[in-house]
Amino acid sequence: MTRPVCRSFVVLCLVSWLLASAVEGGPTDGRLDIYWVDVEGGAATLIVTPGGESVLIDTGNPSIRDPDRIVQVLLRQAGLRQINHLIITHYHGDHYGGAATLSKMIPIKTLYDNGLTDDMPESPPEKSYLELKCDQRQVIDPGDPISLKQSHRDNTVDVSLVCLGTRKEFVQQGEANQSLCAQHQSKDRDGSDNARSVVMLLKFGPFEFFDGGDLTWNQEFRLVCPSNPVGIVDVYQVTHHGLDSSNNPVILKSLRPTVAVMNNGATKGCMPEVFTNLKETKSLQAIYQVHKNLRPDGVVNNVADQYIANHDQQKTCKGNYIRLSVDPTGKSYTVSIPAHGHQRTFQSK
């Protein structure tokens, strides 16, 4: 047996053991949890609802590493045995690449994506993704809600997750946003599948979380102008890993987040213009990074070490995750990095 095959066999055996030993249900404390799984500059955001369901937005890169990290968090931290809802924001390998392998490791109930259309700007996803095992597939459209079970616990508020945009089409309703829209300066068009990213908004009582995948600069403007359907959010997942082809100041000032979380890699993201735009967003109280920026080109931007989950190069990286846990009332939330004991609590808006 070759080493790669042997390793895959060992991992699958471990997953089988964990599935057998994991608890039956999900969370029992009425909280909403979000995990930013370290997929080395890709994206994999795991949401665990108070009703005991899991929502995974993107699956990281191809090969076993990223699906394995996702499964470890799902089983060991969340105590869940399946992915109820898998949302793929767009067809780049660092977002959908781990999906086929993941489907062999743990059951996937419903997969939501952009489907296949005649106007796709790049090659369609790999055959292994198109044929992966799941209970059902659904093309997601602007305005579509994800049907989530509610907790029904005393003092626990309802949770909702809705698609605000995809394939360069956006929900239109929202408050007028002319003053901020007038500040927009366009950039060169990004003609890749990034511009077609699925945009999701999660609400838990007063708490709100925004995930825009790799939505690009000019499309971010179109999302919130002339009207803003997103509103004000508490937590902003820094779009496109902190690259400066995204993170338009107009969207940052429109959403007015309290916390930003950047799913960057050791040598990917953390661009100077993005850091400038984030730091000029007056509402922000904290910025978190999945990785410390260790690029050899000398262009280094980082927050304080306590707000960074992983400080090492890729070869020695331990794959630490960032966790956010929202109180059952939705009125406050705590961001933590369990690997080195950091935690900080914020009030929802």
Question: Around Cβ 262, how many Cβ atoms within 10 Å?
Answer: 28
- pTM value? 0.92
The pLDDT of residue 152: 82
Residue 10: Cβ-neighbour burial (10 angstroms; 0-12, 13-18, 19+): exposed
Amino acid at 54: S
| Cα–Cα distance list, 257 to 6, 39, 155, 279 (Å) | 45, 24, 25, 12
SS3 341: coil
Q: Which secondary-structure segment (H or E) carries 253?
A: helix 249-255
Check: CB of residue 36 under 8 Å from CB of residue 310: no
What dihedral angle (degrees, nearest 10) is formed by the CA atoms of 126, 130, 135, 140?
100
At 223 the three-state DSSP class reads helix
Q: What is the CA radius of gyration of the chain?
A: 19
Q: What is the pLDDT of residue 312?
A: 87
What is the C-alpha to C-alpha distance for residues 309 and 293, in angstroms, rounded to an integer? 11
pLDDT at 18: 44
Backbone phi, psi, residue 194, to 5°: -55, -45
pLDDT score recorded for residue 28: 65
Q: Which residues of the chain have pLDDT under 50?
A: 1-26
Contact present, 229 and 170 (Cβ < 8 Å)? yes
Is residue 334 a contact partner of residue 343, using CB atoms and an 8 Å limit? yes
pLDDT at 27: 58
Is the Cβ–Cβ distance between 78 and 26 less than 8 Å?
yes
Count of other CB atoms within 10 angstroms of residue 127 = 9
Looking up tokens 């993107």 gives: 58
H/E segment holding residue 277: helix 272-279
Identify the structural domains of the chain with CATH numbers, from first to last.
3-347 (3.60.15.10)
